[in-house]
Amino acid sequence: MAPPLFLLFLQLLVLVCSSSAQAQNISLGTSLTTQGPNKAWLSPSGDFAFGFRPIEDNSSFYLLAVWFDKISDKTVVWYAKTVEQEPQPIQVPSGSSLLLTSTGVLSLRDPTGREVWNPGAVGAPYASMLNTGNFVVAAAGGSSISWETFKNPTDTILISQVLSPGMALRSRLLTTDYSNGRFILKLEAQSAALYSMAVPSGNIYDSYWLKTGNITNLAFNMSGRIYISMDNGTQIDLASAAVGSMEDYYHRATLDQDGVFRQYVYPRKLSSLSSPTWTSVAIQPENICDAMTKVGSGTCGFNSYCMFDGTKNQTRCVCPEKYSFFDEQRKDKGCKPDFQPQSCDLDEAGAMGQYEFNLVNNVDWPLADYEQYTPIGMDECRQLCLIDCFCAVAVFHDNTCWKKKLPLSNGNMASTVQRTVFIK
């Protein structure tokens, strides 16, 4: 039997009401749950959503996040993190909920009802997912904002967002793993810089991009320019591309897993020719493989080398021949040799029987040297490495020989690196 007409009408009414209600101010006593029916609050334009997002690699767990809702991959631009010295992304199990309580507190709760996160605002009259992508909690009285995602960034900034000294962007570990990654963009009173970090200790290494001065802020303006302002009026671009209008493109800029800060655009209108994707339009630094030259493994892991493809602005990590990745998913963990280390008891003849060299050009690991000979010939260089049980690689250039030890670090392959390399 067909359902009575008035029931259909009622369903339609509920649909219309709930979708229009989503685009308004979020009023007290409203909630979201991971299982729905309300999983997210939308901005009036529908471009952005705030709510629960299943984690790609771990789909029974959710992030509390802001994402681009109209594009198919629902790119996440913000996610809730704990409020401690070293903030960690919060992953809640299915059955969790988010409440804007009747007393004006935003509260994330696990399935047992225990609070796992709360941004600290009390007595808020309402909250709102704005068209800019900023999720805000209004302050008591309603005329100002007490908490907002734009002031608590994760790895991404959006147009009209401004960061002040004390704020930072932290990369995630992988596209699908929101754990803290290995890079940070820190804005401080006297500097703006990109640093690599040790995971999991959080120890900060040297910067690979640095500007000093009295920093006022970092802004992403309506023209798509991302720049740092100083109190004496100087402005320095972090990334800046002449990009299409707001009507034609979505915009974002993200500190990616490989340590590159990339500005991206995504066409709003679907083209019949190609499936839309985020395209990088500007990057910092220009070449991440050249930029990382200090302590730590670099953007690729130990024993690997880094190649930067300047036409696609993409980083590639490669293992030398006879080495392989510890973890194909996490190339930053580096490469392990597929062979036994050389015994230091082997004599010259023994080493000659067991080890050989693979020749590569245009690559170097500038930090792994432990001995240098000059002047010397190429054959002698190779021989000195072969009989030395500490020697993993011999590098030859211009009558100079460098012996390198494991682990090799900051490996960089580029046509500008003029080296002949023998990998034992």
Ligand X SMILES: *[C@@H]1O[C@H](CO)[C@@H](O)[C@H](O)[C@H]1NC(C)=O
H-only helix segments in 137-244: none
Return the range that interacts with ligand X (CB under 6 A); candidates 73-81, 230-238, 337-345, 361-369: 230-238
CB of 286 to ligand X, least distance (A): 6
Q: Choose the stretch contacting ligand X; rule: CB under 6 A; options: 197-205, 222-230, 351-359, 375-383.
A: 222-230
Could you say whether residue 322 binds ligand X (CB under 6 A)? no
* Interaction mask 108-127, ligand X, x per CB under 6 A: ------------------x-
The arrangement of strands across the sheet holding 393-397 comes to 358-361, 420-423, 393-397, 400-404, 369-373
**Residue partners of 100: CB distance under 8 A and separation at least 6:** 26, 27, 28, 29, 30, 31, 106, 124, 126, 127
DSSP assignment of 109-146: E-TTS-EEE--S--S-SEEEE-TTS-EEEEPTTSSSEE
CA dihedral 179, 78, 39, 248 (to 10 degrees): -130
CA angle (107, 109, 112) in 5-degree steps = 150
For strand 358-361 and strand 420-423, is the pairing parallel, antiparallel, or unpaired? antiparallel
Q: Is 142 in the site for ligand X (CB under 6 A)?
A: yes
Q: Is 131 in the site for ligand X (CB under 6 A)?
A: no
C-alpha–C-alpha distance, residues 195 and 25, integer Å: 39
String marking each residue 270-289 x if it binds ligand X according to CB under 6 A: ----------xxxx------
Question: Per rule CB under 6 A, is residue 24 in the interface with ligand X?
Answer: yes
Of residues 152 and 160, the one with the C-beta less far from ligand X? 160
Q: What's the helix, strand, coil split of the chain in %, to 5?
A: 10, 40, 45
Count of chain residues binding ligand X (CB under 6 A): 25
Among 15, 312, 321, 418, binds ligand X (CB under 6 A): 312
Least Å distance between CB 162 and ligand X?
Answer: 12
Binding to ligand X by residue 25, rule CB under 6 A? yes
Q: Closest approach of Cβ 54 to ligand X, in Å?
A: 11
- Residue selected from 22, 33, 91, 342 as contacting ligand X according to rule CB under 6 A: 91
As a whole number of angstroms, the distance between CA 110 and CA 243 comes to 42
DSSP SS3 for 378 = helix
Smaller CB separation from ligand X, 144 or 340: 144
Q: Does 21 bind ligand X (CB under 6 A)?
A: no
Determine contact, residues 187/165, Cβ cutoff 8 Å.
yes
By CB under 6 A, residue 230 contacts ligand X: yes
Residue closer to ligand X by CB (options 11, 18) is: 18
Q: In the numeric block, which tokens belong to residue 6?
A: 């008035």
Residues lying near ligand X in the complex (CB under 6 A):
24-25, 44, 58, 61, 91, 126, 128, 142, 213-214, 221-223, 225, 230, 232-234, 280-283, 312-313
